[in-house]
Amino acid sequence: MSEEETADDLGVREEPAPAGRASLRDVVAAYVGLTKPRVIELLLLTTVPVMFFAARGIPPLGLVAATVVGGALSAGSASALNCVYDRDIDEQMRRTRRRALPRHIVTPRSALVFGLTLGVLSTVILFVWVNPLSAALSVSANAFYIFVYTMWLKRRTTQNIVWGGAAGCFPALIGWTAVTNELAWPPVICFLIVFFWTPPHTWALAMRYREDYANVAVPMLPVVAPAASVGKQIVLYTWATVAISLVLWPVAGTGWFYPAAAAVLGAVFLVEAHKLWRRAVGTEQLTLINPMRLFHTSNLYLSLLFVAIAIDPLIG
């Protein structure tokens, strides 16, 4: 799942940096912002439907609550620690300069303690009230996100989001293991859906903010490659996403609803990806390419696809 969504895209008005002492409301809002609530929402959207899918119906509500709380705290921990490490470039990027650390509402030390505390709480909740396997997967996802993506790949390679984005795929595994306490092929397919979906989703946003990334020397693909090349890669990964989404049908033995929904949603996603590629050929003007159209389409695609995963066993 991408951590690159911005307040601009969510319709949030930019606030000026506070003058003097920040109010309690500002501080609370800053700590909440460190967790990137919209990212948490998207991650949970791939966790809970898989729990319904694993249970072949409605899972125990207490288990769902524990998994949601533990997963939210885990994602919030990873986001806060990411903010601590990336605070130097966040201060220079237009889309991130309103975060808590660039605005100096929260100190790096306080943010670090906050992130680590959330991580410990999430691990305890998942270990005690869900199961050790889900807790271990959550810790692994956070470690991968911080050490592999944030600290190693993000500033070094154009493949940063391709491999680093794997951290956002773990919620699908966690949702399945929370119910079954074991891994199987269906959650692996769900993992791969998110894995192949992440590059086109993130590259569309990175096209919109490529100057930001270029100014801080983060080599996102749209920074170092022509728009037409990025568009081609987006199309290829979109095809892979749609193809792997259809594989879930025979592997998991779903009913008719899921493959029908996956086919329709996949067709819409593919049409938008091809349109972006065509618009990108021969121009670098973002107003003509309009990458945010694909970005929002990709969000809708993944959300509705996983809703279909949850609904299928209920009507099958």
Q: Which of 108, 135, 88, 129 is nearest to 34 (CA)?
A: 108
What pLDDT was estimated at residue 17?
Answer: 42
pLDDT score of 11 more than 50: no
CB atoms within 10 A of CB 20: 5
d(CA 69, CA 96): 26
- Give the pLDDT confidence of 30-39 residue by residue, as tens digits: 999 999 998 9
Q: Look at the block and give the residue holding tokens 């080599």.
A: 219
Q: What is the DSSP letter of 2?
A: -
d(CA 235, CA 13): 32
Alpha helices, H only, 181-226: 185-208, 210-215, 221-224
pLDDT average, residue stretch 89-100: 90
- Residue 5's pLDDT band (cuts 50, 70, 90): very low
Within a 13 Å sphere around the CA of 29, how many CA atoms are in the beta-carbon half? 12
d(CA 210, CA 121): 36
d(CA 300, CA 294): 10
Q: What is the DSSP letter of 278?
A: H
pLDDT average, residue stretch 8-23: 46
- Give the pLDDT confidence of 104-119 residue by residue, as tens digits: 999 999 999 999 999 9
d(CA 242, CA 56): 23
Distance of CA 286 to the CA centre of its chain: 23
d(CA 223, CA 246): 32
Structure tokens at 159: 């493949």
- Give the pLDDT confidence of 167-190 residue by residue, as tens digits: 999 999 999 999 999 999 999 999
Structure tokens at 244: 């792997």
CB atoms within 10 A of CB 207: 27
Structure tokens at 86: 């990336």
Burial of 17 (0-12, 13-18, 19+ CB in 10 A): exposed
What pLDDT was estimated at residue 19?
Answer: 40
Structure tokens at 302: 């993944």
pTM, to two decimals: 0.92
CB atoms within 10 A of CB 13: 7
Within a 13 Å sphere around the CA of 280, how many CA atoms are in the beta-carbon half? 27
Structure tokens at 164: 């680093």
